[in-house]
Chains A and B, each alone.
Chain A
Amino acid sequence: MAKKRKNKPRLLQGNEAIVEGALAAGCSFFAGYPITPASEISEILAYRLPQVGGTFIQMEDEIASLGAVIGASLAGAKSMTATSGPGFSLMQENLGFACVAEVPCVIVNVMRGGPSTGLPTNPSQGDVMQSRWGTHGDHPIIVLAPSSVHDSFEITIKAFNFSERYRTPVIVLSDEVVAHTRETVILPEPEEVEVLDRIKPSMPPEWYIPYEDTSRGVPPMGIFGDGYRYHVTGLIHDIRGFPTARADEIEPFMKRIHRKISQHFHDIQIVRHFFTEDAELLIIAYGSVARSARRAVLDAREMGVKAGLLQLVTLYPFPRRDVVDTLRDIDVVLVPEMNMGQISREVKRVNEGMSRVATLNRIDGGMITPQQIYEWLMKE
């Protein structure tokens, strides 16, 4: 591994690229529980993390996995877990904890068919809404969806950077097709990767107020053992971290944790425009479906149809501005999804009836092919 040539092409699957991305971003702790189609991430990290002085542990379930990840993050480690639908359901409890206690961590959910045990080896995009609203209570969250092997690498690094910068859990919403596709990629060298770390307190410990508002809305994070002793809780807390039931402390807290994400919307929002400039027919897609859509757009263009694709990489906070702007001169937009229609509802919500939002939903365990999207484009 140490002797490899620089920027050598490598044949990787999506899950392997997530591991590479995590290590490049500085991940030093992983806790997980076996589940198809995410297990490769655990297996490879069990091998790789001890090589770089990191820690891998297989926990007794997914609840415990995210608990350990949060604990490790509080002790200063960049931490991650990976799972699929059933495990993601179990993680919702501690996901809410990470939101309210503002603990950076990355949760990979390789989506498979649901509900329940569902279709363990088939792709799906059925967990979009769960990734936004799965844990109870109003909470901010960042959700990113990779669409290829290279994306899996890049998006995982972004996920770590966002989680560290904004002190929030970030969900990488992959799917079985992205996870298990093998393709040749050229990954950047570690020194070429932009890695962001959390901001730690610089004031003397006795001046440290752990949850005090800042201009960025993100308070510096004390690390257990570094001398900044403070209280971390899942209860709504005051600026010192102590539980509170006072209305004048609850509201500023709730508003701040939402504001720290909304205020940095421009930084978090990642979309990709593909022939949208002059498009008459638009597709909005994410994950592996975006890949199929890309092919369909090229094929349709060859036949003289002015098709375009707006690929959403950031699913939440929902990239409202880009969607609204792109839809301004569009009469019909197609939102193909491997679910009964989840992002299509968001598109309808922000578009407020200005364009017709067509859906193409596949829920039979198969992926949406370029052909399916192409046929729709040619029909319209």
Chain B
Amino acid sequence: MAEITKLVHKYLRHDKKFPHVWCPGCGNGIVLGAMIRAIDRLGYSKDEIVMVSGIGCSGRLPVYVDFNTLHTTHGRALTFATGIKLAKPELKVIVVMGDGDATAIGGNHFIHAARRNINLTAIIINNNIYGMTGGQYSPTTPYGMRATTAPYRHIEHAFNIAELAVTAGAVFVGRGTVYHARLLDKLIEKALLKRGFGVVEIITHCHTQYGRRNRMGDAVAMMNWQKEHAVRIERAGDLSEEELKDKFTIGVLADRDLPVYTEQYDLVRQQAREMLSR
């Protein structure tokens, strides 16, 4: 067994009834692998990690790993995570969501979690579609593409999740793809280390639903698409607007420091106690 596989096995739940729910070729396993590698490298214990998810293919991710795991309602993962973190700030709370989960039904929770700056890590797996329910368009389905609920063509405009996170106030925002797996490890590691609300958007493929309807080929072809369309943020400055037109940037998009909620609330408690004893 390769070292990297051994590492993943260290964190899998062997009492869980496998096989998993994902299609062959799905990128979700790469995301889970990257998360495990980042957690392992940072040396967190299994007991201090809480992995929270919403609903959708991404929602099934925590069930396979041996942490404290919570599979919540659709779009609400960040709200549950907020409660966990505030009640037990010493826990490391990681939230995994899909594009529909985080920016449609959970869009409001997402921007407020970013604004509040609670010490959470949000991993958003963006496959441009609702995969589990059968390929309906999501807030990140690009204009002009097809989905089961856009059989002619999609006439809405897509969210840029990472930019949305930056604007909403997230202190750390990274974007990667499942093709760029090593970058992904680093981005997740950085987000985990960041004090405050960190977001990693991960571009992945749903060849079963999105790719098939839009003639983008199989998983390998779609990963090649990621390779060809991703531009490292460090290099984006050297490219013309024309060259960047159908590209997206990957890397660290924002890294800044703002007061962290849990630490601020500790100060509020202190102030409240002082006022009480006066």
Contacts and interface: CB of A to CB of B under 8 A. Distances in A.
Given A61-B108, A242-B63, A225 B90 contact: yes
- Among A64, A76, A230, A243, the one with the most B-chain Cβ atoms within 10 Å of its Cβ is A64
B66 to A, nearest CB: 6
A55 to B, nearest CB: 5
B88 interface: yes
A224 B68 contact: yes
B73 interface: yes
B48 A225 contact: yes
B1 interface: no
Size category, A interface:
35 or more
Given A68-B86, A231-B71, A50 B17 contact: no
Given A57-B82, A68-B79, A229 B88 contact: no
Given A50-B269, A55-B86, A67 B70 contact: no
A74 interface: yes
- Among B13, B79, B85, B109, the one with the most A-chain Cβ atoms within 10 Å of its Cβ is B79
Contacts of B229: none
B68 A225 contact: yes
B50 A225 contact: yes
A60 interface: yes
A64 B68 contact: no
B221 to A, nearest CB: 32
A365 interface: no
Contact of A73 (B17, B83, B85): B83
A64 B109 contact: yes
Interface stretch (A177-185, A233-241, A265-273): A233-241
A69 interface: yes
A97 interface: yes
Contact of B79 (A64, A224, A229, A234): A64
B212 interface: no
A266 B47 CA distance: 38
B50 A59 contact: no
B76 A76 contact: no
A70 B87 contact: no
Contacts of B275: 51
A68 B71 contact: no
- Among B47, B48, B88, B275, the one with the most A-chain Cβ atoms within 10 Å of its Cβ is B88
A51 B91 CA distance: 23
Contact of B88 (A65, A224, A231): A224
B276 A2 contact: yes
Contacts of B78: 67
Nearest to B51: A231
Given A64-B109, A64-B112, A68-B79, A74 B73 contact: no
A1 B271 CA distance: 16
A71 B276 contact: no
B265 A70 contact: no
B162 interface: no
Interface string A36-58: 00000000000100110101010
B209 to A, nearest CB: 21
A59 B82 contact: yes
A64 B63 contact: no
Contacts of B109: 60, 63-64, 67
B68 A60 contact: no
A232 interface: yes
A227 B47 contact: yes
A79 interface: yes
A307 interface: no
B80 interface: yes
Given A60-B112, A231-B63, A1 B87 contact: no
Interface of B: 13, 15-17, 46-48, 50, 52, 62-63, 66-73, 76, 78-88, 90-91, 108-109, 112, 265, 268-269, 271-273, 275-277
Interface of A: 1-2, 28-29, 31, 47, 50-51, 53, 55, 57, 59-61, 63-77, 79, 93-94, 97, 224-227, 229-235, 240, 242-243
User: Which 4 A-B pairs give the minimum distances between C-beta atoms?
Assistant: A71-B83, A67-B79, A68-B83, A72-B83
Given A28-B87, A31-B83, A229-B67, 18 more contacts: A31-B82, A51-B269, A51-B272, A67-B76, A67-B82, A67-B109, A70-B80, A72-B84, A73-B87, A77-B88, A79-B87, A93-B73, A226-B47, A231-B62, A231-B69, A240-B15, A242-B17, A243-B63
